[in-house]
Amino acid sequence: MGSITLQKVSKVFGEAKVIPSIDLDIRDGEFVVFVGPSGCGKSTLLRLIAGLEDVSGGKIVIDGKDATEKAPSERGLAMVFQSYALYPHMSVRNNIAFPLKMAGMDKTEIDRKVDDAARVLNLGDYLDRKPRQLSGGQRQRVAIGRAIVRQPSAFLFDEPLSNLDAALRVNMRIEISELHQQLKTTMVYVTHDQVEAMTMADKIVVLNRGNIEQVGSPLELYRSPRNLFVAGFIGSPK
């Protein structure tokens, strides 16, 4: 579980062809990073995968099944937003439990799942706090916790660290990488930060104006950038 295939996926907003046509294979368990300059279509591509935007053309296959027409909640994916999107009046426990309550799960099972997620994320001591009583990094972990309890076949992250200061960003980068090693769940991670891409990814997808310039491991892109755009973006010293 956790494979995502894009076949000739396109997106048009009015007159603007934001994604002309993308083919991409994301394998089960991979950590895939979409990287590229601001406005190149990273968020749009992630939102198409999540089902938060409809494709203008093409097909999205998730775990072998056509998901192009499926609602976001039926795709088995969990999106982690940059702005945390936590409920300020709810405790950490209730914030993490929220999607499970909405799904009608019984309380004992909810508690067990929340406790498991809190253990993985080192949030066990903070379950009774409100979001305002947490640091930025802890809030981000709560947002990830809310995704984990749903046991998605893939996590989708849209620049999750861009609101954090530099030191915390480095810590969270390591935490998310460790989480991936622990859960072995597919992660699709959007960033404009080359260092994040190079240090976290199994596979980097370099985007430019809605097109894929190159797909490869960090080492492949570093050693053999296909063109000047990729070389400039990955910063190969030549």
CB 77 within 8 A of CB 156: yes
Taking the least distance from each CB to ligand ADP, the nearer of 15 and 106 is 15
Nearer Cβ to Mg ion, position 43 or 214? Answer: 43
From the list 48, 46, 81, 49, the residue with the least C-alpha distance to 161 is: 81
Q: Does residue 44 touch Mg ion according to CB under 5 A?
A: no
Tokens of 221: 């892109």
Which residues 36-55 are close enough to bind ligand ADP by CB under 6 A? Answer: 36, 38-44
Work out how close the CB of 67 gets to ligand ADP at its nearest, in angstroms, rounded to a whole number: 20
Q: How many CB atoms lie within 10 A of CB 81?
A: 16
Question: Would you count residue 153 as binding Mg ion (CB under 5 A)?
Answer: no
CA distance readout (Å), 106 to 99, 110, 111, 147 = 12, 6, 9, 18
Q: Whole-number minimum distance, CB 61 to ligand ADP, in Å? A: 21
Q: Are 179 and 120 in contact (CB under 8 A)?
A: yes
Residue 43 interacting with Mg ion (CB under 5 A): yes
Residue 232 as a binder of ligand ADP (CB under 6 A): the answer is no
By the criterion CB under 6 A, which residues form the site for ligand ADP? 13, 16, 18, 36, 38-44
Q: Which residues bind Mg ion (CB under 5 A)?
A: 43
